[in-house]
């Protein structure tokens, strides 16, 4: 079957999402569209420029806390389908060509890998009509086609799959969340309790800048906040993200904070993680960010660290359910 060329409007939408090759730590891109939702058709991109070819996918589930979407691979090759696939007609999607949804070719993807919504279904995946006949056996030519399609999705979602299944914890504490000149005592205390608990579970890196920001004077009223932090890191010193001379001087502004240490912290953290680790969670407090986090306790953005695209999940611990001010 000849796969139709992409129409001009779709090619332009994809080109608008093109990611140039960059080195070091560059300015992150806040989501240019709303976070993905179930039933949307979007284009899934490789995490790095020049990676696996992008493909259309159907979002079936989202986890905003990790900025992860579960996707099903779509194909315009409607002649190679089987009884486990579902048909998406042009009338249903509004797209200029029919698509097949492969229910058995599914996997996780980071939010930053998904382009703008191209169509939204008004029904669930399994409400769609069956696309083809059952596969006979491995000699059926459609079997090899399905294996090729599975390989295509695995190539696009390799980093996300690795991190969710085998990756180490990648949370990093925001060093400014302990600065008494920026954060009130009650909120700083809430942040400290969260960080101490995560340190005990070996689920977080604590930047050394956090200790220099905190007031360690035992006569200070803020000492009740900093003392548990110092005790916790003394038992888990390997989780301290030490300050080092940075080979790359980041010129990025994540937020309106003068001399913000967070960009350098993220660059050092990425250096400690496996190269397949691409999503970093920033534990922080809402008042330190320009973005309005009042409607949700987290947001996401993309950033390049040492030439590799990463996803940042900014989580405000003071707005999370059960921790409201």
CB 254 within 8 A of CB 27: no
Domain boundary pick from 123, 148, 165 = 165
CATH number of the domain where residue 149 is located: 2.30.30.110
Domain boundary pick from 165, 182, 210 = 165
In this predicted structure, what is the pLDDT of residue 306?
81
CB 282 within 8 A of CB 265: no
Average pLDDT of the segment spanning 81-99: 93
In this predicted structure, what is the pLDDT of residue 43?
97
106 and 154 share one domain: yes
Tens of pLDDT, residues 265-275: 999 999 999 99
Residue 199 domain-assigned (yes or no): yes
In this predicted structure, what is the pLDDT of residue 253?
72
Please state the pTM of the whole predicted model. 0.83
Confidence of residue 313 (pLDDT cuts 50, 70, 90): very high
In this predicted structure, what is the pLDDT of residue 249?
58
Degrees, nearest 5: CA angle 200-259-226: 30
Whether the pLDDT of residue 295 is over 80: the answer is no
In this predicted structure, what is the pLDDT of residue 32?
41
In this predicted structure, what is the pLDDT of residue 40?
97
Structure tokens at 154: 């695995």
250 and 147 share one domain: no
158 and 193 share one domain: no
Residue 16 domain-assigned (yes or no): no
Whether the pLDDT of residue 258 is over 60: the answer is yes
Residue 6 domain-assigned (yes or no): no
Tens of pLDDT, residues 25-69: 444 444 445 799 999 999 999 999 889 999 999 999 999 989 999
In this predicted structure, what is the pLDDT of residue 135?
81
The pLDDT > 90 percentage for the chain reads 55
153 and 101 share one domain: yes
The strand pairing partners of 314, in sequence order, are 282, 299
Closest by Cα among 157, 42, 168 to 108: 157
Residue 323 domain-assigned (yes or no): no
Confidence of residue 21 (pLDDT cuts 50, 70, 90): very low
133 and 207 share one domain: no
Domain carrying residue 241 = 171-316
142 and 179 share one domain: no
Tens of pLDDT, residues 189-237: 899 999 999 999 999 999 998 887 655 555 565 666 778 888 999 999 9
Domain boundary pick from 147, 165, 183 = 165
Residue 92 domain-assigned (yes or no): yes
Q: Which residue has the higher pLDDT, 12 or 68?
A: 68
Q: Which residue has the higher pLDDT, 226 or 104?
A: 104
Q: Which residues contact 180 (CB under 8 A, 6 or more apart)?
A: 188, 214, 215, 220, 222
Q: Which own/partner contact pairs does 255-258 have at CB distance under 8 Å and 24+ positions apart?
A: 255/288, 255/289, 255/290, 256/290, 257/176, 257/182, 257/288
301 and 198 share one domain: yes
Whether the pLDDT of residue 299 is over 60: the answer is yes
Residue 3 domain-assigned (yes or no): no
Residue 152 domain-assigned (yes or no): yes
Average pLDDT of the segment spanning 236-256: 78
132 and 39 share one domain: yes
176 and 312 share one domain: yes
Residue 192 domain-assigned (yes or no): yes
In this predicted structure, what is the pLDDT of residue 107?
97
Whether the pLDDT of residue 325 is over 50: the answer is no
40 and 148 share one domain: yes
- Beta-strand runs (E) in 92-227: 99-110, 119-120, 171-173, 204-207
192 and 261 share one domain: yes
Average pLDDT over the chain reads 83
101-131 per-residue burial string, b: 16 or more CB within 10 A, e: under 16: bbbebbbbbbbbbbbbbbbebeeebeebeeb
Tens of pLDDT, residues 151-192: 999 999 999 999 999 888 899 999 999 888 899 988 988 999
Whether the pLDDT of residue 319 is over 70: the answer is yes
125 and 201 share one domain: no
Tell me how far the alpha carbon of residue 282 is from its chain's centroid: 12
Whether the pLDDT of residue 91 is over 50: the answer is yes
Number of domains in the chain: 2
């Amino acid at each position: 079957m000849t796969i139709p060329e992409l129409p001009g409007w779709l090619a332009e939408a994809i080109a608008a999402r093109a990611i140039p090759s960059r080195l070091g730590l560059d300015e992150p891109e806040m989501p240019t569209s709303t976070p993905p939702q179930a039933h949307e058709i979007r284009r899934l991109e490789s995490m790095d420029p020049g990676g696996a070819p992008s493909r259309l996918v159907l979002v079936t589930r989202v986890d905003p806390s990790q900025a992860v979407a579960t996707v099903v691979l779509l194909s315009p090759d409607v002649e190679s389908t089987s009884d486990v696939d579902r048909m998406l007609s042009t009338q249903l999607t509004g797209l200029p060509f029919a698509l097949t949804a492969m229910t058995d070719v599914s996997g996780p993807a980071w939010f930053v890998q998904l382009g703008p919504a191209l169509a939204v279904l008004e029904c669930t995946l399994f409400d769609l009509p069956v696309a083809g006949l059952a596969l006979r056996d491995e000699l059926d030519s459609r079997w090899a086609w399905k294996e090729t399609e599975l390989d295509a999705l695995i190539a696009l979602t390799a980093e996300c799959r690795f991190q969710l299944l085998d990756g180490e914890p990648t949370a990093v504490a925001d060093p400014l969340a302990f600065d008494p000149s920026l954060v009130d005592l009650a909120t700083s205390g809430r942040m400290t309790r969260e960080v101490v608990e995560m340190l005990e579970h070996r689920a977080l890196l604590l930047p050394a800048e956090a200790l220099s920001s905190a007031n360690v004077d035992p006569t200070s009223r803020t000492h009740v906040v900093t003392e548990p932090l110092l005790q916790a890191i003394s038992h888990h010193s390997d989780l301290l993200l030490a300050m080092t001379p940075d080979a790359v001087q980041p010129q990025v502004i994540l937020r309106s904070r003068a001399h913000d240490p967070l960009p350098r912290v993220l660059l050092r953290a990425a250096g400690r993680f496996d190269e397949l680790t691409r999503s970093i969670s920033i534990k922080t407090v809402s008042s330190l960010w320009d973005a309005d986090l009042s409607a949700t306790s987290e947001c996401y953005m993309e950033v390049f660290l040492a030439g590799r695209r990463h996803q940042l999940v900014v989580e405000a611990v003071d707005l999370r359910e059960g921790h409201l001010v």
